[in-house]
């Protein structure tokens, strides 16, 4: 009885020591940038109806424009590539030399006992050589990728020409692991819609990373021994 009580207490203690799984680790390079707080300006006309530095239009533009502003990128990437290559070669060579004519007679050769021929008609100096080589080969390759979705990024820099450098990361924590979507690129302000969105096709120098970690990602990869044998196996 005492032993059973100790076992139950041990299981309870072990359960109490368990902790919740850690949050997915983010890439520090894609951390959001906070805007720098502007210093408060002294009102030029204290007590006036309109205070300096607090301008806000009735129809203010809510599109991203400065460092720290957020922007939604609509991912719609579809790429497809195919390549086909066919080659064929054929080469034929031939050379013939007739039996020479010496003093009006064609020499014939016959060696009784060595060349037991019924006739020495074809036993002469005529020569014929021929060769033929052919080659035919072909290959086909194709690749396609597709990615759709939205990711909200942060403006990290405003270039001298007004273009916005954006960067951001989305992490989806699932039961079987984590999914990381990272995006960076350069956005032209006039390509941003009134809803503060921009299609990924209008982003310059885009860099999109979509990768997974955890059990599902590990199960879809080869083991280290299989990868090693595949790299050194010559066949």
User: Which of 156, 178, 182, 189 has its CA nearest to residue 168?
Assistant: 182
What per-residue confidence (pLDDT) applies to 31? 72
Tens of each residue's pLDDT in the chain, 235 residues: 566 665 656 665 555 454 444 555 667 777 767 666 555 555 555 555 555 555 555 556 788 889 999 999 999 988 888 888 888 888 888 877 676 666 666 666 555 555 545 555 556 666 677 788 888 888 888 888 888 999 999 999 999 999 999 999 988 887 767 888 999 999 999 999 999 999 999 999 999 998 877 666 566 666 767 777 777 776 5
The answer to whether 185 and 205 have CB atoms below 8 angstroms apart is yes
Question: Which residues does 189 contact at the CB level (< 8 Å), separation at least 6?
Answer: 63, 65, 162, 163, 164
3-class state of residue 229 by DSSP: helix
Instruction: Give residue 21's pLDDT.
Output: 47
Q: What is the pLDDT of residue 20?
A: 44
16-40 pLDDT, tens digit each: 454 444 555 667 777 767 666 555 5
Question: What strands, in cross-sheet order, belong to the sheet with 70-97?
Answer: 197-199, 70-97, 127-158, 164-174, 177-187, 204-214
The torsion angle over the Cα atoms of residues 24, 29, 31 and 35, rounded to 10 degrees, is 170
pLDDT score for 19: 44
Cβ–Cβ under 8 Å, residues 138 and 90: no
**Predicted pLDDT of residue 207:** 92
Q: Which of 194, 199, 195, 161 is nearest to 183 (CA)?
A: 199
C-alpha pair distances (Å), 96 with each of 126, 128, 129: 8, 4, 6
Determine phi and psi for 206, rounding to 5 degrees.
Answer: -75, 145
- One DSSP character per residue, 108-133 reads ----TTTS--S--SS-SS-EEEEEEE
Q: Tokens 């990024």 — which residue?
A: 153
Task: Report DSSP state, residue 191.
Answer: G
Predicted pLDDT at 164: 95
Residues 72, 200: contact at Cβ < 8 Å?
no
Write down the pLDDT at residue 2: 64
| pTM score | 0.54
Closest CA to 187 of 104, 71, 77, 31: 71
């Amino acid at each position: 009885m005492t032993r059973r009580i100790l076992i139950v207490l041990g299981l309870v203690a072990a359960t109490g020591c368990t902790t919740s799984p850690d949050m997915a680790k983010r890439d520090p390079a894609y951390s959001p940038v906070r805007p720098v707080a502007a210093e408060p300006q002294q009102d030029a006309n204290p007590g006036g109806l309109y205070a300096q530095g607090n301008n806000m239009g009735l129809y203010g533009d809510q599109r991203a424009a400065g460092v720290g502003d957020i922007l939604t990128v609509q991912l719609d990437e579809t790429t497809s590539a195919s390549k086909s290559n066919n080659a064929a070669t054929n080469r034929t060579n031939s050379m013939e030399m007739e039996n020479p004519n010496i003093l009006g007679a064609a020499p014939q050769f016959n060696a009784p006992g060595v060349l037991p021929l019924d006739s020495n008609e074809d036993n002469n100096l005529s020569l014929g050589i021929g060769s033929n080589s052919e080659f035919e080969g072909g290959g086909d390759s194709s690749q396609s990728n597709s990615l759709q979705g939205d990711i909200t990024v942060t403006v990290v820099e405003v270039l001298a020409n007004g273009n916005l450098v954006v960067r951001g990361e989305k992490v989806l924590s699932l039961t079987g692991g984590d999914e990381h979507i990272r995006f960076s690129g350069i956005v032209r302000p006039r390509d941003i819609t009134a809803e503060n969105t921009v299609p990924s096709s209008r982003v310059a120098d885009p860099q999109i990373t979509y990768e997974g970690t955890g059990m599902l990602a590990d199960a879809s990869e080869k083991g280290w021994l299989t990868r090693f044998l595949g790299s050194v196996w010559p066949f």
